[in-house]
Each structure stands twice: as structure tokens, then as C-alpha cells.
Structure 1
């Protein structure tokens, strides 16, 4: 059986703040990517890559960055594939309201556990409402991104 990690970027890897939480991580890096300010902790990047390198784990981006996720390798992230909106989606792609339907469609056919990581409360509510027993949801605080505790949980969830 294999695990699937569905991974958002903003508010998960990219901390949505101008001032890093030094109490959470000692080393923060900032840069510009495609014209957007990016703030991240190297420890988060390393942990996500470590989980993605486990032979039974598949990591997929589920983010409004969509095809631009290939650019995230500039931060040191592995080049994970992304999940696109469903073909019949007609809304605004930048808002992300396509993500629950796309993620749930993938999760329904996944043969193992799905760990869904997104900072949006409304997406967590949609996933919870869908009541899929194979999905575990992690919701980071957007101004921090994944916490050390959540990184430990992610590692534990993906350890056979």
C-alpha cells in the first residue's frame, strides 16, 4: 500500500508573513519567485523532500501555482507533479475553489492513505464533509507554514 501527500504551497511551505517566526525555526530564507515574495524555513523543505523520497510515498502539488510548481525547485524542493483542476471546472483558478473536487477525485481512487496539507479552513471543512476514511488533513497556520509538530506527524503518517 502506498501513501499520497497532497501539498499546497502558500501557507504550507511559503509562510504568509513578512516577519518569520524565529521561535519556530532558526533558519528562514526569503526570495522572489515569479514576482511573488517567498519566505520559507529550510527545515520544512528538507522534511518534505525526505517524505517524498520514501519509496512508498507519492507527493503531488495541489495548489493554485499549478504548472508553475516546476519553478519551486529553485527553493530546493523536489520536482513533484501537480494535480490540475478537473476538466469541467469553470471558476477562477486563482481562488483555489477547484482544489477540493480535484483532490477528492484523486483520493477516491488512491489505494492507500492520503495526507492532505492545506492552510485553508474552508478546504479542510470540504474534505471533512466528504468523510473519506483514507484522508488525514493537516492545516498549518498560514503565517508559519508547516510546524515542527506537523512535520513529525507527516513523517509518522508516512512511516510503514
Structure 2
């Protein structure tokens, strides 16, 4: 009978010690525990186990640690493949775990959860979906629906490729922060993206959505993560909230022109910020 846990933190914590049942297999151990909680978005497959076991077998004759192969550890390996969905709740639990880790309960460091990458809170309309997205190539068009109607979307394929690459490489954790959050599974299928986190899950618009987006941005910083926020209308350009978010250099705020959305220079800024965040720790 699988052991039950009160939170993903407890499950991940046990996943670290799961090498006693799955020798050397940190990823599969943690993933299987998470799967028993029902918080994975897909089951762990034989392919997952094979890749992990093969990788770790290759490490036995080297001085490398598993974190050298999975740069942000087990949690990021799960997040980057879409097996685990990020979000505010997980941020809070991981922050709690970090505080727990510092007490050194087991007399050894928990090496498989180093610093996680910046969170990219990503709006859709006016950011990815734009009337004239550019990128030196014709846009593509597709459709997605909310609870009332179907909408036509236009985007630059190269932009989607950059977003996907940034997330899968581990430079950033992309998280939907948009009025499309409740329907983001359609966007992930349309754009061939892995399952991404949601800043919120309710079907909201207007002032309610604006407040939810700002709350999400603040939460990322409160949880100890670095923040990248791309939104064509809600990102503050100046004022008290702007100064609050960028204090200490832990946030990059991008407010693209709604008609064109994110452009190559914006993605370059994101990559530079993320790489610096990684090197700074």
C-alpha cells in the first residue's frame, strides 16, 4: 500500500530517500511518490524509468552528481517535461521545504533540489496572440474556445519555439498568467507545449483578473523565486508597484506592444536575465 503524504513536499522528501527502494533513481522515486498523490499530470512511464536509470548508471563511473545532468534537480526534471505542474501552491511548499532543509534533519544536504529557475508569468492576448506578430515570417493561425465562444489566434512560430526551448532547457519555468488559464490546455495542444503551471485556475476577466495577475507576481517573489512577467496591459511601467516588484533586481518586467506581442529582443532580455539568475544562484 503506497504511503500517503500530507503535501507534495512530504512526497518529494520521501522521493529523495526512495533510493532505498529504487537504487540510485531519485527522479523515478520522487515521481512515483508524486503520482500516488494524484498531482502528476501524467503517469510515470517505463520510458521515464529507463532514461533515468540509464543516465544514473552512466554517472556511477564519474564525479558528476545527478544535479549536473538535471541542472535544477528532480523537481525541475518533472516540471520541464510537464509531468509536474508548477504553480503558487507548489512554490509555497518548496519554500517551506527549503526552510526545513536548512535545519539539516538528516545530517546531509538535499542535493537534488538546488535553486529553481525564474518563473516567467506569460500572458497570451497581446503577448503571444497578436495581430501582426512579425518575427520575419508569416504568422500562423489557430482556434481556441472559452465557455462562450471560439476565438481566432495569430502567433509567430519562432516565438513559440523560443518559449518552448527556454522552458525545456531549464532556464525559466513558464507559467500561464492570463485570462486563458482555465482553458490553457487548448493552448498547450495548439502550440505543442508541455503542460505548464497556471498562476490561477478560475475563469476570470477584467479587474478580477488584473488583481489575480499582480497577486501571482508578488507570490513568485515572496516564495523566493525570481520573476519575469510579460503582459501587454498589467505590467506596471512606473510607480510604487513597479518599484516594489523590481526591488533588488529580482524581477524583469516586459510590457510588449499589444499588436505585435513579444519580439526577439524581448526573448533575448529574458534569456540574459535567466542566465544571470542561474549564475547568481
TM-score (norm 1): 0.81
Gaps of 5+ in 1: 87-91
Structure with the bigger RCO (C-alpha within 8 Å, sep 6+) is 1
Q: Is 1:115 equivalent to 2:228 in the alignment?
A: yes
Once residues 72 and 129 of structure 1 are traced to their aligned partners in structure 2, the CA distance between those partners, rounded to angstroms, is 32
Please tell me whether Structure 1 or Structure 2 has the larger radius of gyration of its CA atoms: 2
Correspondence for 1:43 = 158
The correspondence of residues 62-141 of structure 1 with structure 2, limited to 5 A, is 62-73=177-188, 74-84=190-200, 93-95=204-206, 96-98=209-211, 99-109=213-223, 111-120=224-233, 122-125=234-237, 127-133=241-247, 134-141=250-257
Once residues 265 and 253 of structure 2 are traced to their aligned partners in structure 1, the CA distance between those partners, rounded to angstroms, is 14
Structure 1 stretch displaced more, 98-107 or 124-133? 124-133
- Deviation of residue 31 (structure 1)? 1.6
Higher strand content, 1 or 2:
1
Aligned with 2:129 (options 3, 7, 14): 14
Once residues 244 and 158 of structure 2 are traced to their aligned partners in structure 1, the CA distance between those partners, rounded to angstroms, is 32
Secondary structure at the aligned position of 2:210 is classed as coil
Correspondence for 2:260 = 144
Once residues 118 and 30 of structure 1 are traced to their aligned partners in structure 2, the CA distance between those partners, rounded to angstroms, is 21
Aligned with 1:28 (options 139, 152, 157): 139
Gaps of 5+ in 2: 1-114
Once residues 200 and 182 of structure 2 are traced to their aligned partners in structure 1, the CA distance between those partners, rounded to angstroms, is 8
Secondary structure at the aligned position of 1:100 is classed as helix
Once residues 274 and 216 of structure 2 are traced to their aligned partners in structure 1, the CA distance between those partners, rounded to angstroms, is 22
TM-score (norm 2): 0.48
Once residues 21 and 115 of structure 1 are traced to their aligned partners in structure 2, the CA distance between those partners, rounded to angstroms, is 20
Query: How much is the aligned-residue C-alpha RMSD, in angstroms?
Result: 2.3
